[in-house]
């Protein structure tokens, strides 16, 4: 009986390993990317969740190879989406060496499931390409009970304009901000009043999605009290990327 169970367990492990092969990436679950030989027109895959934001880096392993282009037309379970090419947006694209040239695509999927990328052109085809995907969604909170005035402060730390959406959900599940759009210019900051939308004496969760690379935005919730004409800062809490490793 034990021998049969052990055999079955090994079979299950083999099936799972086979299913996860082929460059399938789940963002934020590993510290490294997925390296595979990729030719011109080759497909690479990642798993993403709806209403979250992501960026994927495509980098060659050898310094003599360049990833010339990755299609911004990305296939999802709901059809195609157009990713934003953020190769030239700071923070700089990670690379294995100064002469390594890659691509970076950022996107916000409309459905949960597999995302399919097309590596359209590589200088030497095929070549080993390292694909690393990161979730860039920022999570934070607010509390108009302890401090009546709550402001979400979004700073753009890059050299390019960044756009995104804000979601806020009160403790009882009431969605008070449902994908409100924003755009922050390069090196600029936007402040958004959360207390006006959330209402008094509540607390909840904030989520910020955007089309910039990991580290592009800094978001903080600042808490104020006192009169409107003389607000006093009581504290600031940063919104952070979740790490599922």
The domain limits of the chain are 23-135, 138-241
Closest CA to 105 of 88, 80, 85, 122: 85
Q: How far apart are alpha carbons 153 and 241 in whole angstroms?
A: 16
Burial environment of residue 58 by CB neighbours within 10 A (0 to 12, 13 to 18, 19 or more) = buried
Q: What is the CATH number of domain 23-135?
A: 2.60.120
**What's the confidence (pLDDT) of residue 5?**
38
- pLDDT in the model for residue 160: 96
pLDDT at 215: 93
- Tokens (6 digits) for 195: 């207390």
Q: State residue 93's pLDDT score.
A: 80
Query: Class for domain 138-241, per CATH?
Result: mainly beta
Question: In this predicted structure, what is the pLDDT of residue 77?
Answer: 86
The structure's pTM equals 0.84
Q: Determine the length of the chain.
A: 245
> How far lies 220's CA from each of 24, 132, 190, 217, in Å?
33, 27, 11, 10
- The per-residue pLDDT for 201 is 95
- In tens digits, the chain (245 residues) has pLDDT values of 444 333 343 333 322 322 233 445 777 666 678 899 999 999 999 999 999 999 999 999 888 888 999 999 999 988 899 999 999 999 888 654 455 678 999 999 999 999 999 999 999 999 999 999 999 999 999 999 989 999 999 999 999 999 999 999 999 999 999 999 999 999 999 999 999 999 999 999 999 999 999 999 999 999 998 887 788 888 999 999 987 66
Q: Residue 227: its pLDDT value, please?
A: 80
Task: Note whether 23-135 and 138-241 share their fold.
Answer: no
């Amino acid at each position: 009986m034990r021998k049969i169970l052990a055999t079955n367990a090994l079979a299950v492990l083999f099936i799972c390993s086979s299913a996860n092969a082929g460059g399938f990436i789940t963002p934020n679950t590993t510290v490294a990317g997925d390296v595979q030989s990729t030719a011109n027109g080759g497909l690479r895959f990642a798993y993403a969740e709806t209403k979250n934001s992501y960026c994927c880096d495509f980098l060659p392993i050898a310094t003599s190879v360049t990833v010339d282009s990755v299609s911004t037309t990305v296939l999802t379970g709901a059809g195609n989406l157009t990713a934003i090419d953020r190769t030239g947006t700071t923070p700089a694209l990670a690379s294995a060496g100064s002469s390594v040239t890659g691509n970076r695509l950022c996107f916000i999927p409309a459905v949960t499931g597999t995302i399919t990328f097309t590596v359209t052109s590589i200088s030497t085809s095929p070549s080993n390409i390292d694909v690393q995907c990161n979730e860039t969604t920022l999570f934070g909170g607010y509390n108009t009970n302890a401090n009546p005035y709550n402001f979400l402060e979004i700073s753009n730390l890059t050299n390019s304009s960044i756009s995104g959406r804000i979601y806020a959900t009160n403790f009882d599940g009431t969605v008070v901000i449902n994908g409100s759009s924003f755009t922050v210019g390069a090196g600029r900051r936007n402040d958004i009043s959360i207390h006006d939308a959330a209402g008094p004496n509540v607390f909840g969760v904030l989520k910020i999605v955007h089309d910039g690379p990991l580290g592009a935005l800094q978001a903080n919730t600042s808490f104020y009290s006192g009169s409107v004409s003389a607000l006093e800062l009581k504290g600031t809490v940063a919104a952070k990327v979740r790490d599922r490793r």
